[in-house]
Amino acid sequence: MILTVTSDKTVATLREDLPRAAAAHAFGVLGVHDLSAKMKEKGLDFAGEVLIFEVCNPHQAKSALEAAPEVSSFLPCRISVHRTAEGATRLSTIRPTALMEGFGVTALSKIAAEVEATLVAIMNDAR
């Protein structure tokens, strides 16, 4: 269900590199959520580093929404950049193919496979 790659880069470096990798694959970054900063803002002691990138290709999103508007509950796609307890840096995303299986719409399977391949390429390029 989860696709993960490991990186030798820091979370801070990936904050800069992932948007470039996404752009190279015609995906834009719609937003970045710094969960570490948000926890601190809420008064919670959290030592981890976690960034969530919301990424999207508008053409793929349009096709998916036209096939099944309910897909909007999964949009935009997300890529997590986080540091593990052991100090490794990882990039992770939920497999779009797994998310779309339940819809039973053939067009979604094709779109999900294309998006999944691109998300993997983005993570590999960024790392």
Tell the CATH superfamily of the 2-126 domain: TT1751-like domain (3.30.310.70)
> pLDDT of 18-40, one tens digit each?
999 999 999 999 999 999 999 99
CA gyration radius, the chain: 15
**List of residues 6+ apart from 123 with CB closer than 8 A:** 3, 5, 21, 79, 91, 93
Domain boundaries, the chain: 2-126
Residue-wise pLDDT tens digits, 66-109: 999 999 998 999 999 999 989 999 999 999 999 888 878 888 99
pLDDT for res 33: 98
